[in-house]
Structure 1
Amino acid sequence: MSIWRVKPVSAFEADMKKSQLKRVLGKWSLTAIGIGAIIGGGIFVLTGTGAYNHAGPALALSFVIAGIACVFAALCYSEFASILPVEGSAYAYAYGTIGEIFAWIIGWGLILEYAMGSMTVAVSWSGYFNKMLKMFGIKLPEWLTTDPASYTGEGFSMNLPAFLIVILVISLLIKGTEKAASANNFIVILKVSAVIFVIIAGAFFINVDNWSPFIPDVQTIIVDEKPHQAYGLKGIISGAAAIFFAYVGFDAVSTQAGEAINPKKDVPFAIIVSLLVCTILYILVSLVLTGMISYQDFNPLGKYPEAIKAPVAYAFDIAGQAWAGYIITIAATVGLISVLMVMIMGQSRIFLGMSKDGLIPPVFSKVNPLSGTPKTNLMILGGFIATVAAFTPISKLAEMCSFGTLFAFTMVCVAVWILRIKQPGLERTFKVPALPVIAVCGIAINIYLMTQLSLDAQKFSMGWLGIGLLIYFLYGKRNSKLNNPQN
């Protein structure tokens, strides 16, 4: 009955043999899944809020810090993926090392990470989609494109495009992982091309005066009608924490291990390559963007209030290059679909792993034999994400997602260290070099970044974890397969 019971590695191996998921993903498809999730939120969405609310032109340094924090976690994820190539990501890793209660907490944190990430991207996609429609002379009414908290009019309002894009992605994912991966591969090629275009074309319109001062002095600005301290070294750190959810992509690679052809080698490869490629692109884009226009122009109460929703496209508009805005807006609108696709896919696989272990209801582990996908799981998840995305403002969602991501990364660094000590003889096709140093650095930097998130985000996130513990003790602990070995 112990809450610290550990799921044996042999049980994971038995799960892999019984799995109804189809192994259809090679190393480049897995890498594309990582890139597909990482490139999107950070570049097309949070560069504006990161620059104005936190770091100014020094946003590039925020991406460097977030990238370094991710490298420590990515190495730990890679070692785990080479030992336990199963769906469930950090949840499964903790279950096999630290114990059930930790696994539950991490799984619940991952739900926060992926669900909030999916909702954030859906809301952001809506912003780019509306901008694209305006370019072609179509303007949707505000009450159909705005959540109730942000709506300035009277009566009912909802973000209908955010709702519909989630439903569209769910319908694609239900058809099968192979088809979804093929669509993702195409979108990733389009998206990376657009990012490289932004870097090259934007470089011609950089005004170096916009980088001065590169690290603005600490000052109080108004964010969501509340005073907020920004800039300076603290702003760079808080910026790194706020944009951290953009790096959720390499985590998503590990959730697909159950569908990888050669997971022990290909998952670590995809995790590291996708992270390195995207970090470099992030740094370059943030430098170009803050060089093209002043970080102060991303003020939602200033001259360009819509720039906060679609910062890259508006940067070219403000620079007088509307033609480039067309290309970027269309690419971002299409590109954000793959981010949403990967996040929902990752979330459903975590539910699948938790349900197989009995910690959440069995409906989440039912796999459709024709498509090889957890159809019911996806439909329930899609309905929830679509509804919340339609009625919630983006700023609250993004920071809660960052908390879930940082929390999961911290626990993975702890768990891989424990497993190395407890079971040093396990076969590891990838080993973290200088593990104690890497693990300590990963734990320290992730915990520190968590403390730099807004107080509201921390309160909401701790409340979420509290609800999770309540559900565990009321349902998960009693129904756990380890508690009922006969099942």
Structure 2
Amino acid sequence: MFERLLKKKDINAILREAEGKNDGLRRNLSAANLVTLGIGAIVGTGIFVITGTAAANYAGPALTISFLISALCCVLAGLCYAEFAAMIPVAGSVYSYSYSTMGEFLAWFIGWILILEYLFACSSVAVGWSGYMMSLCEGWGIHVPWHLAYATFDHTSEGWIMTGSLFNFPAVFIVAIITSLLLGGIKQSALINNVIVVIKVGVILLFIGFGLSHIDLGNWSPYIPENTGEFGSFGWSGILRGAGVVFYAYLGFDALSTAAQEAKNPQKDMPKGILISLLVCAVLYIGVTAVLTGIVNYKELDVAAPIALAIDRTGESLAWLSPFVKLGAIAGLSSVILVMMLGQSRIYYAISKDGLLPKFFSKVNLKHGTPQNATIFASIVTGLFAGLFPLNVLSELVSIGTLMAFMVVCISIVVLRKTQPDLKRPFRTPFVPFVPLLGAAICLMQMVALPFSTWVRLIIWTLVGFVIYFGYGIKHSKLNKK
């Protein structure tokens, strides 16, 4: 039994399999497509949704420092991702990397965590999309009934409560629209994403440029609000907790690695896509956070659409920008959902190909070259969570899943350098083991800073994953059958 849990896939066999028929997945993504997919996934969640919540509850104006900490961790992890993505250019991301370095059981564990990561990323961004769409509709005089626009459940200091709303209809609606686009094929999805990225980056630059003249320096004082006496509630512990919460805003380059099997030249282009998109987005995040907390006092930013609030606070001078920002946010969040849904479906596909999930999930539509069943299933579960739960609960689960995945990648680089030093590495992480170990340490530090309730939910999710693996996966594993 123990040997079966630790059995590893041979990297050379993985590469030979990927170079064959490719199981219906098509290599249509260029380096430019990969960069825009990365930006499409990253820019949106952090800027348009979670920035306000994290500033109001954890770090105040010092959220810029939180983003810097997270950016440093992401660069370190991104270098490790780049080495793996170039060396093992297949669908599956960290799951596939772990299978070849740490064995089947740990691969399943991290694959299950990746499902958590992408599922709740899609759901939380869909909730944010709903907030901006509601704001835009109100501006146009369109009223959406309350019982069809908010989550069914909420989590307060007193525990779980029923809100009285039926479900968040706009959040479910956008998930359905994105699913229909993804089913049309990766080439079509990438083209739509390119257009959306140009629009949303343009809108963000307009907000930064015109918002600078409306900054009230008094809103930055104190820059680091005094700690309330509770860990994670402002002060430096709040900055650290804020870094852990906003960390999932950098999730895009992680999702990018799930599309490696659909890249034209993954050995060269995957590292470019990961690192360039990450650096561009880090600069945009810090700029928007500084302007946002300068225009609106951080105490008032605990809303689903913080940038829309900031625009409204400037009065008539930037009123013309409000519809553009809201439309840019809606478009931007749509591209985030698109890439996260793409990543989620590819994780189901990769795990199913190894037999750890039913083969239903690895069926590919031969006309469009997409994992059809995995995409439809991902849309159903994403829509359920987006319709039923609030933003704060979903975003914290994404953060802890992302941090754990990044930590595993960093450790795996060190393990593989020791166990298989002669493998061909088109891209090499610099300063090993210093860079990966530092990246793993920062990830662990941010995980520890997250609320205890988030850890409880992670443990419950993990236990469910263990039941599925020992009840189904280990019996149907193709590697163990061999």
**TM bucket normalised to smaller:** over 0.9
Corresponding residue for 2:307?
A: 312
**Could you tell me how far apart the structure 1 residues matched to 2:16 and 2:470 are?**
26
Of the three residues 6, 15, 18, the one matched with 2:17 is: 15
Matched, 1:185 2:175: no
CA displacement, residues 83-131 of structure 1 (integer Å, 9 cap, x when unaligned): 1000000000010111111111110010010000000001110000111
Counterpart contact for 2:232–2:239, Cα < 8 Å = no
Distance 2:162 2:441 in 1: 45
Q: Which moved more, 1:11-20 or 1:467-476?
A: 11-20
Paired residues of 1:143 and 1:157 also in contact (CA < 8 A): yes
Look up the match of 1:358: 355
Tell me if 1:149 matches 2:153. Answer: yes
Could you say what secondary structure the match of 1:230 adopts?
A: coil
For 1:231 and 1:278, the matched residues in 2 are separated by: 25
SS in 2 for 1:281: helix
* Residue of structure 2 equivalent to 1:478: 475
State the match for 2:330 in structure 1: 333
- Cα distance, 1:18 vs. partner? 3.0
Instruction: Say which of 171, 188, 202 aligns to 1:162.
Output: 171
Deviation of the 1:178 alpha carbon: 0.3
Q: How many residues align?
A: 471
Superposition deviation, residue 149 in structure 1: 2.3
TM-aligned CA deviation for residue 364 of structure 1: 0.7
CA distance in 1, matches of 2:164, 2:216: 44
| Distance verdict in 2 for CA 1:153–1:143, change over 3 Å | farther
Q: Secondary structure at the residue paired with 2:433?
A: helix
Compare 465-474 and 50-59 and name the one that shifted more.
Answer: 465-474
Superposed CA offset, 1:375-410 (max 9, x none): 111111111111111111111000000011000000
The alpha-carbon distance between structure 1 residues 4 and 13, as it changes in their structure 2 partners (threshold 3 A), is same
Residues 1:180 and 1:272: Cα distance change in structure 2 (over 3 Å)? same
Partners of 2:340 and 2:96 in 1: how far apart?
17
Provide Cα deviations, 1:273-292, integer angstroms capped at 9, x if missing partner.
00001001101110011111
**Deviation at 1:323?**
2.2
Whichever residue aligns with residue 315 of structure 1, its letter is A
Residue of 23, 38, 41 corresponding to 1:37: 41
Aligned equivalent of 2:31, options 20, 27, 34:
27
Tell me, yes or no, if the aligned pair for 1:57 and 1:215 is still in contact at 8 Å: yes
Aligned to 1:65: 69
Q: Shift of the alpha carbon at 1:469?
A: 1.5
Q: Could you tell me which residue of structure 1 aligns to residue 437 of structure 2?
A: 440
Alpha-carbon offset, residue 271 of structure 1: 0.3
Percent identity over the alignment is 44
* Equivalent residue letter for 1:213: P
Alpha-carbon deviation of 1:11?
Answer: 2.3
Q: Which residue of 1 aligns with 2:210?
A: 201
Name the structure 1 match of 2:461.
464
Is this contact kept in 2: 1:314–1:325, CA < 8 A? Answer: no
CA distance in 2, matches of 1:429, 1:438: 18
* CA shift digits 1:159-214 (9 cap, x unpaired): 00101110110011001000000000000010111111111011010111111111
Aligned mates of 1:324, 1:12 — CA distance in 2:
50
Q: Report the counterpart of residue 294 of structure 1 in structure 2.
A: 297
Deviation at 1:322, TM superposition (A): 2.6
8 Å CA contact retained: 1:127, 1:309:
yes
Select between 176-185 and 322-331 the one with higher mean Cα deviation.
322-331
CA contact (8 A) 1:293 1:319 kept: no
**3-state SS of the aligned residue for 2:27?**
coil
Asked if the contact 1:174–1:373 (Cα under 8 Å) also holds between the matched residues in 2, the reply is: yes
SS of alignment partner, residue 44 of structure 2: helix
- CA shift in 2, pair 1:65/1:229, >3 Å: closer
Partners in 2 of 1:107 and 1:9 — Cα distance? 17
2:118–2:344 contact (8 Å) kept in structure 1: yes
Q: Distance in 2 between matches of 1:100 and 1:233?
A: 39
Q: Secondary structure at the match of 1:214?
A: coil
Structure 1-normalised TM-score? 0.95
Map 1:2-401 → 2, pairs under 5 A: 2-16=4-18, 17-19=20-22, 20-150=24-154, 157-219=166-228, 230-299=233-302, 308-320=303-315, 321-401=318-398
Number of the residue aligned with 1:305: none
Q: Secondary structure at the match of 2:411?
A: helix
Change (3 A) 1:210 1:123: same
Q: Aligned partners of 2:232, 2:441: CA distance in 1, in Å?
A: 24
1:301-360 CA distance string (max 9 Å, x none): xxxxxxx11001110101213322211011101111000000000011111111101111
Structure 2: runs of 5+ lacking an equivalent = 156-160
> What letter matches 2:96 in structure 1?
A
Q: Distance in 2 between matches of 1:66 and 1:327?
A: 29
Q: 1:88 to 1:441 in 2, by over 3 A?
A: same
TM-score by length of 2: 0.96
Residue 70 of structure 1 aligns with an amino acid whose one-letter code is: C
Q: Distance in 1 between matches of 2:463 and 2:440?
A: 22
